[in-house]
């Protein structure tokens, strides 16, 4: 899974401040043309199930070394953000993977694909769940999402969700988060 681009162009300012513009990011014009499906972006940790094995996301950001057993998701780091996402195998013997393993075992076999793992043991439980759970990416379809800057901004202001991921149906995706517009989340 490559790093998903943000729907609108972001400006990176001093002191790690980022502002969003109303200019569509190159390659994401299809969203405003009404193509693709809007899905809910969940706030947990990204995982991959492949051939019955579970992997967690690892970011070799800004030249951080890639562990020998990691699988890079793209050939090189993003030139702007420095992100280089990788997949790391989850290990039953690594104490840091305890909750990944427990949740994976509790749900039984999952189909190959990417999932968001959310719950009390992941990312401060921003989804406010009472137990850990896997959510397949793209499964929670959002109806009535506008396809323009102001409409999307208003939609995210009115709906208490982390954001929206648009799926084109050919593997292309882009995202937009409430925090991109300066709205609080979590």
- Say yes or no: 119 and 65 in one domain: yes
> Residue 1: pLDDT above 70?
no
- Say yes or no: 129 and 155 in one domain: no
pLDDT of residue 80: 78
Confidence of residue 78 (pLDDT cuts 50, 70, 90): confident
Phi, psi of 167 (to 5 degrees): -110, 125
pLDDT in tens, 134-184: 999 999 999 999 999 999 999 999 999 999 999 999 999 999 999 999 999
Domain that holds residue 61: 43-139
Q: Is the pTM of this model over 0.85?
A: yes
Point out the domain boundary residue: 106, 122, 139.
139
Token pair of 44, please?
A: 């947990």
Lowest mean pLDDT segment, chosen from 17-31, 53-67, 89-103: 53-67
- Say yes or no: 2 and 23 in one domain: yes
- Residue 131 makes CB contacts below 8 A (sequence gap 6+) with 119, 120
Mean pLDDT of 95-120: 97
> Residue 54: pLDDT above 80?
yes
- Say yes or no: 47 and 132 in one domain: yes
pLDDT in tens, 2-48: 779 999 999 988 888 888 999 999 999 999 999 999 999 999 999 99
Domain count, the chain: 2
pLDDT in tens, 62-71: 888 899 899 9
- Say yes or no: 47 and 135 in one domain: yes
- Say yes or no: 104 and 168 in one domain: no
Point out the domain boundary residue: 100, 117, 139.
139
Contact status, residue 83 vs residue 3, Cβ threshold 8 Å = yes
Give the single-character DSSP code of 61: G
């Amino acid at each position: 899974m490559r790093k998903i681009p943000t729907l609108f162009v972001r400006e990176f300012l001093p002191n790690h401040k980022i502002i969003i513009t109303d200019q569509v990011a190159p390659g994401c014009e299809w969203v405003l043309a009404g193509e693709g499906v809007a899905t809910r972006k969940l706030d947990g940790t990204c995982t991959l199930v492949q051939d019955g094995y579970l992997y967690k996301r690892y970011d070799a950001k800004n030249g951080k070394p890639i562990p020998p057993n990691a699988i890079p998701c793209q050939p090189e780091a993003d030139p702007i953000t420095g992100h280089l996402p990788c997949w790391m195998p989850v290990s039953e013997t690594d104490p840091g993977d305890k909750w990944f393993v427990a949740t994976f075992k509790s749900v039984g076999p999952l189909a190959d694909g990417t999932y968001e793992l959310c719950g009390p043991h992941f990312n401060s439980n921003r989804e406010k769940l009472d137990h850990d759970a896997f959510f397949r990416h793209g499964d929670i379809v959002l109806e009535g999402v506008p396809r323009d800057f102001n409409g999307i901004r208003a939609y995210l202001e009115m709906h208490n969700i982390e954001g929206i991921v648009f799926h084109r149906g050919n593997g292309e995706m882009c995202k937009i988060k409430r925090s991109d517009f300066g709205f609080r989340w979590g």
